[in-house]
Structure 1
Amino acid sequence: MQELIKIWLNGPQDYQLGVEIYNRFGDNSFLKNMFAEGEDEYNSERLLEELKKLYSKTDELIKPQIVAKTIQEIPKRSEQKDAPVEVTEAIKQRKQLYFEARDAHSQLKALRSINDDETKEKRRQKAALILGDFDAIKPLWDLTNHYDEFGKLPEAKVITEEKKEYSMMPEKDLNALWEKNYKYAQKWKNDISKTEQLKARIEENNKIKTVLGDAFLYTKHRMPTISA
């Protein structure tokens, strides 16, 4: 959360993305409804103020952890040459997602002054993409942090049906999740070591597409298939 808010505070501070971030991490329903009414001078200033507050809260929680790590001065296991391929791949993916999120955020600057419906939709999609990337970054950090602390990978978990209530999720979040799965599927389609992960992404996207129905946005995209 802190890194995402930091990017927003240091960037063009796109209103739509700021609202999406506050909807995700803020807890004041009155403010959420007020921000949803649209951008004006007061809402923009209040949104900036509230996101600064959220950033300060997370900063206070993280500082003690940073101090402790600085005192210890212990090199991270995940950065060593003998780290498992799963760890090095997680770091690689994490950096790629950070780059993609930052790039999408910088693109919002060019769209900020245009307020027609088409551009607003593009801004919304960019905001959803950024949030989706940060959702994908978290488990990658969890994996490398676990390896740094314990010197081994987390115990493998069998891929099971996650009890996600897709019907309860906003359409924009479902579309963003579908697009994220699609991007991973394109990366993994020719990698035999990613067959199980690819299969899981395909299955999830089939379910998401069924739930969305006419609200599905990526009608021209085709998920890869797995040969028998």
Structure 2
Amino acid sequence: MKVLVPVKRVIDYNVKVRVRSDGTGVDLANVKMSMNPFDEIAVEEAIRLKEAGLASEVVAVSVGVRQAQETLRTALAMGADRAILVVASEDVHQDIEPLAVAKILAAIAKEEQPGLILCGKQAIDNDMNATGQMLAALLGWGQATFASEIKVEGETATVVREVDGGLQAVSVRLPAVITVDLRLNEPRYASLPNIMKAKKKPLEEKTPADYGVDVAPRLRVIETREPPSRKAGVIAKSVDELVDMLKGAGVV
């Protein structure tokens, strides 16, 4: 079984995001970029399936700017076998919308014929949480989202997913799309020998036109602004004073 793993290049989660002074977007100048953490978990799970003998090949895919090669090389260093980069923009500030990404991934899936597609449940930059679901709809495949545990047996995958009320176990027939959550696994660090080997692994470069997909944006960001600063806290001198504060704030 072949496993396809889409990965996205995003601002590193340890970086404090800054908004441009003119409010037109996020400042990316001299900012560290890395693989979306949820996608990293998906790559790790795909590699574990291969190590368990349940997958024959792991293919990492990224749709975005040419600099996403670095992100794909990280996936290759972790253990993916090969990578496909679809250069959809030359502007690092342009975010390719979920529907366009899903259409490209669907076209790649039809070419590659994977038995399973593992996606991060969402990207930490736009928090859309839509690509995996759209991809499953376009392919007509079953889907399981927010996976915290995956067990593959034959033509079926059993997925434990996180819901508001707790955990839910679902069974999905392969091929399928599964989006993964934080508690699924702990991604490995790429060793130096594997980082060197990743430079020699195949990385194919494509464009949206190769798949007949229009990536022109349908949404326009009107304004970007930072959240308001938190107000300083107040120390209550007694329980009665605390209760009066809470009543005044409408909490009780």
Fold similarity call, TM over 0.5: no
- Per the normalisation by structure 1, the TM-score is 0.30
- Higher RCO, 1 vs 2 (CA within 8 Å, ≥6 residues apart): 2
Q: Which has the higher helix share?
A: 1
